[in-house]
Structure 1
């Protein structure tokens, strides 16, 4: 496809994927609060031979060029598991996606979106949803609030102008994802402390650290709760067995047991909360490079991430407890136990909770109750694809 003197080409092979990733890194580096990520990890995410997401997805990557210069990139992809969901949950039949969106100007942005839409339409899709890069569990949404501070681990960071370009291409916001900032050096309000103490007096309730010696089993427990707890949420796509194994392997190096807990009632796992030290701090220091000594600094930091910010990317309570006082109590107990460990053992002062869907009233109420405030917003847009 050619738009004026801009040519948009499909990406092929290992070399093409490497260029696709490097283009994204070059665009991201223009942003003052961008944090360089590990290139090897970014390559793995777009490699069908390594990322199990592609076991249930088809895709095409594109690069835009003006002359010999790369001036943009975009992905078009279809998650077959997402097609099986009800439309009222955001995806469903006909839902194609775009992601990895970067452009030098609005003309290029619209040309790339047109190309992604053309590919999705050729695959029988009737809607384009994005940006989602590339699984809903990786980096969903476009940053529309919060460009004035560094992102935390596994969160995207995008120029504010991208929102205008996407909207002027005919897209409307479909969903907003929120992250909440929390000062963990300050104790929780009295009401929350009373709820936590009440739970601690209940002999039926146990909140325990994950057991890293049984890590594979713990991952299965956590993700089975997640698949149940989130099953009715907007945008939910269940983890496959291959993705569960992959996630467990990738997450194990950054897991500190005291920061990741499972809540049980009468010995039955009912809820979980994961917390990751913010690796972005050390990635900035090593400029996202493992060589020559980046690997050494990262490994040393992971053993004892003192003073790091903490991110709570995932929590879940089994669906049978939803809308109950017990669900909130378990959440407060897990948050409180992790907060104590983060401050006492790692000297943490700040945490970020999210993302949280803007219609998840239960989680938003919990975030408000512990005096956290919204610090970042991510938007997911949608557009009908006319034949």
Structure 2
């Protein structure tokens, strides 16, 4: 049985690249499909501002003439410039449970990156750490929340079998709103002390100034994560597109902006877990899928707290907890029952300790991998 790989250059290739996930996950109750239009943009089949400065090449592997695997090789010039290392990324990996197929697509990605003088590889990033990333390695018993990854357990064997090695884990923490009644009193003290020290003004985002508010949040996001592992700031063009994409999905009740002396210093955004609805519409927004998302969002009882960001000079003073506290009354009024905090880097000891002290349970683990040519490759093993 032969395995071949082709770069994605035609509409037929694009269709096969897209369809492979639907074929592999058919019947899996825990898989929610991506929004098809969003996926097309993330792999540059349709224009995306991420690729104004970066490059991608997708590949499809065929076994006995049928699509069996896929991957994208990504050249993130922002990462190269920021970290002064020629490292590429892989993303959008899918494969049947066959090491030969996985090896073939990874070989193709390595060769494409090598042509650009890049030997180090990290992933999965779809297409960067500002988007969906990480391989699920623990927590396969439930559907992933909105904009988090999902994959079969055997993917770790295929990736590690090629020679990739763990570089960083990321966690999803789960909490039930009933747990708020038994919060550690020390956390309440931190909140009260932060309020006393800074006299913050807290509010939800103003939807009448939505674009301006999202740009404000993403500016805080870029500034707050400068010391975070692997972080690369988003460009203005990416911020504009993301703001438009969130406009109809974000609800003010699940957001908080913190102002100190009239200046925004922190913000938290919660996204409703649209995945069960996206599964029902099979990832198709048109012609009627988008309306089903909007009509159904009031029934969603699970929120993903996607990002709690505080400007560096205000970090470690409890402002993050203050931001979250403001959400509680609105979340209860909405009828929210569950929250997921994701993702949290294993190297982010402060956030992890705070969540654990608050009673949140670690429910899923995602892994980022690195590959270097000094490590044993699939060819060397065979």
Partner of 2:88: 96
1:29 correspondence with 2:26 = yes
Q: Which residue of the other structure, out of 62, 79, 82, is the alignment partner of 2:79?
A: 82
Q: Kindly state the Cα deviation for residue 143 of structure 1 after the two structures are TM-superposed.
A: 0.5
Partner of 2:35: 38
Q: Determine the C-alpha separation between the residues in 1 that align with 2:112 and 2:372.
A: 14
| Partner SS for 1:85 | helix
Q: Which residue of the other structure, out of 173, 189, 204, is the alignment partner of 1:180?
A: 173
Q: Determine the C-alpha separation between the residues in 1 that align with 2:285 and 2:218.
A: 30
Partner of 1:59: 56
Partner of 2:324: 335
The gaps in structure 1 that reach 5 residues or longer are 87-91
Q: Kindly state the Cα deviation for residue 130 of structure 1 after the two structures are TM-superposed.
A: 1.0
| Partner SS for 2:44 | coil
TM-score normalised according to structure 1 size: 0.91
Q: Determine the C-alpha separation between the residues in 1 that align with 2:240 and 2:338.
A: 30
1:340-383 Cα offsets, whole Å, 9 max, x none, are 21122x21111000111110112112211221011111111111
TM-score normalised according to structure 2 size: 0.92
1:27-76 Cα offsets, whole Å, 9 max, x none, are 23353310123222222222264211111211110001123310110111
C-alpha distance 291-79 of structure 1, shift in aligned 2 (>3 A): closer
Work out whether residues 185 and 348 of structure 1, in 8 Å CA contact, stay in contact via their aligned partners in 2: no
Partner of 1:89: none
Q: Structure 2 matches for 1:257-336, cutoff 5 A? A: 257-290=252-285, 293-302=288-297, 305-322=298-315, 324=316, 326=317, 329-336=318-325
C-alpha distance 156-29 of structure 1, shift in aligned 2 (>3 A): farther
Q: Kindly state the Cα deviation for residue 252 of structure 1 after the two structures are TM-superposed.
A: 1.0
Q: Determine the C-alpha separation between the residues in 2 that align with 1:227 and 1:290.
A: 29
Partner of 1:385: 373
Q: Kindly state the Cα deviation for residue 385 of structure 1 after the two structures are TM-superposed.
A: 3.0
Q: Which residue of the other structure, out of 338, 342, 346, is the alignment partner of 1:358?
A: 346
Partner of 1:210: 205
Work out whether residues 272 and 300 of structure 2, in 8 Å CA contact, stay in contact via their aligned partners in 1: no
Work out whether residues 6 and 64 of structure 1, in 8 Å CA contact, stay in contact via their aligned partners in 2: yes
| Partner SS for 1:83 | helix
Q: Determine the C-alpha separation between the residues in 2 that align with 1:342 and 1:151.
A: 21
| Partner SS for 2:299 | coil
C-alpha distance 28-135 of structure 1, shift in aligned 2 (>3 A): farther
Q: Kindly state the Cα deviation for residue 113 of structure 1 after the two structures are TM-superposed.
A: 1.1
1:347 correspondence with 2:324 = no
1:124 correspondence with 2:117 = yes
1:92-145 Cα offsets, whole Å, 9 max, x none, are 421011111111111111121111111111110020111111122111111101
Q: May I ask how many residue pairs the two structures share in their alignment?
A: 372
Partner of 1:114: 107
The CA RMSD measured in Å over matched residues stands at 2.0
Q: Structure 2 matches for 1:366-385, cutoff 5 A? A: 366-385=354-373
Q: Kindly state the Cα deviation for residue 296 of structure 1 after the two structures are TM-superposed.
A: 3.1
Work out whether residues 103 and 109 of structure 1, in 8 Å CA contact, stay in contact via their aligned partners in 2: yes
The gaps in structure 2 that reach 5 residues or longer are 378-382
